[in-house]
Structure 1
Amino acid sequence: MFIQTEATPNPNALKFLPGREVSAEPREFLTIDQAAVSPLAEALFQLEGVAGVFFGSDYVSVTRDPAGPDWSQMKAPILAGIMDHFVSGAPLMREGAADSAVSEGEDSEIVAEIKQLLDSRIRPAVAQDGGDILFDGFDLETGVLTLRMRGACAGCPSSSATLKAGVEQMMKHYVPEVTRVEQVL
């Protein structure tokens, strides 16, 4: 098995591509307790310096603690952990692990349009950088759209610029009711 690595705009996150499907739904783990539902995420958190794990459709993004070891020390053990997991045939998620997606009922037409734009145009571009972007809320009165960044994009120095220069511009163009885009942490 050959696993490729790619840099992301976040210097504290690397994208690992095992050459196969990883997760049908994006999943993020920010603590070892959250990672307990996934054998792979849990194994990665046991490595020194791992601060976050994100599963995309065909990649695993790992975020390192800036105060921990550098990538030259972390990359090989992470590659070994990912390879061992996929070669073993173990499931990505343990049985009984609840899906993190929560249905919020029927969306307004504007919210549905925002989500469709996120899914079709924005999320694929953000996934290229090893992350994900999620709808958080939309205030119809003020026109403020709040989004949540995950994976390599969470805490990335360029995520604010991405939100303002890219996402906000596109949203304002296609959904005139959007006046501003903000990131929630």
Structure 2
Amino acid sequence: MSEIAITAEPLTGPRCLFLVSRPVAPAQWAYAADRPSAQGSPLAEALFAVEGVSALLIAHDLLVVTRSGAPGLPLVGPYVRLVRRAFGDTSARAPVDWKTLGKGVAKVLRAHLESGQVALSPALIVSMPTTEQLRQRVRDVLEEQVNPVVAGHGGGVELVDLIENVVYLRMSGGCQGCGLADVTLRHGVEAVIREAVPEIGRIHDLTNHAAGVRPYQLRGSSPFAIKK
């Protein structure tokens, strides 16, 4: 059997995405907001036993872990006004070390895959919101929290589609072709979507940035950059 490769990708805020080289929950996904909701799901139960895990999303070949601790964000990289509003004081640091937590998560994932057990219980899977419910919640986040901010730079973000729990977005106006569009997406739009709709898995940008005719880029600033 081939080696199990696990890649960790820290996300803005108290979350980290783990990509696994084998399907963890083939063609399935579920979000567990706390330990009680994970009961009956072998992988979810084992992951909640890892110190620092407070919530998790298991979807196909990925895992998004939310760590416990202070609600603030560590001061790493450019954070956005949206994230500041969502999480509060960005000067606070979560007490759980990602390196230690990541090792614990990887150990559990490997042991689970080698055991051959199912990852999620049918009860947890059927308790998840429908695709249409997720679609509407993402639309609401874009309309109420994201677009009022990017509109200041003449931009916009629309939901193209949502399949299962995977989101497909498109940027327009000043965001299309902007040199900092990825910062806007990863550290702004994505962070706020995941905070409001934690059941979301991957988020894809379908924008043809090469076709942008009026990209906004002013002294290297994103519309979400925190101004001192």
Which TM-score applies when normalising by structure 1?
0.56
Which residue matches 1:150? 198
| Structure 2 counterparts to residues 55-66 of structure 1, below 5 A | 55-66=58-69
Distance between the aligned counterparts of 2:199 and 2:122, measured in 1? 23
Distance between the aligned counterparts of 2:60 and 2:45, measured in 1? 19
Distance 1:98 1:14, change over 3 A: closer
What letter is aligned with 2:65? Answer: V
Of 70, 93, 97, which aligns to 2:120? 93
What letter is aligned with 2:197? Answer: M
Distance between the aligned counterparts of 1:64 and 1:85, measured in 2? 20
- Secondary structure, in 3 states, of the residue corresponding to 1:63? strand
Q: CA deviation at 1:12?
A: 2.1
Of 19, 22, 44, which aligns to 2:21? 19
Of 28, 39, 48, which aligns to 2:42? 39
- Secondary structure, in 3 states, of the residue corresponding to 2:103? helix
- Secondary structure, in 3 states, of the residue corresponding to 1:56? strand
Which residue matches 1:123? 167
Unaligned runs of 5+ in 1: 135-146, 154-165, 167-185
Distance 1:68 1:98, change over 3 A: same
Count of residue correspondences:
133
- Secondary structure, in 3 states, of the residue corresponding to 1:69? coil
What letter is aligned with 1:149? Answer: V
Distance between the aligned counterparts of 1:98 and 1:56, measured in 2? 11
Over residues 13-65 of structure 1, what are the superposed CA-to-partner deviations in whole Å (9 max), with x where a residue is unaligned?
22222212233233111110001131111111111111111012211111111
Contact 1:48 1:68 in 2 (8 A): no
- Secondary structure, in 3 states, of the residue corresponding to 1:25? strand
Contact 1:63 1:152 in 2 (8 A): no
| Structure 2 counterparts to residues 106-185 of structure 1, below 5 A | 117-119=160-162, 123-124=167-168, 148-150=196-198
Which TM-score applies when normalising by structure 2?
0.46
Distance 1:9 1:15, change over 3 A: closer
Q: Is 1:77 aligned to 2:104, yes or no?
A: yes
Distance between the aligned counterparts of 1:42 and 1:22, measured in 2? 14
Contact 1:32 1:45 in 2 (8 A): yes
Unaligned runs of 5+ in 2: 70-93, 140-158, 170-185, 202-206, 208-228
Q: CA RMSD in A?
A: 4.0
What letter is aligned with 2:161? Answer: L
Distance between the aligned counterparts of 2:168 and 2:131, measured in 1? 23
What letter is aligned with 2:54? Answer: A
Contact 1:14 1:62 in 2 (8 A): yes
Distance between the aligned counterparts of 2:42 and 2:98, measured in 1? 22
Distance between the aligned counterparts of 1:73 and 1:2, measured in 2? 19
What letter is aligned with 1:10? Answer: T
Distance between the aligned counterparts of 2:108 and 2:131, measured in 1? 36
Q: CA deviation at 1:3?
A: 2.7
Contact 1:26 1:57 in 2 (8 A): yes
Q: CA deviation at 1:152?
A: 8.1
Q: Is 1:50 aligned to 2:93, yes or no?
A: no
- Secondary structure, in 3 states, of the residue corresponding to 2:96? coil
Distance 1:72 1:99, change over 3 A: same
Which residue matches 2:33? 30
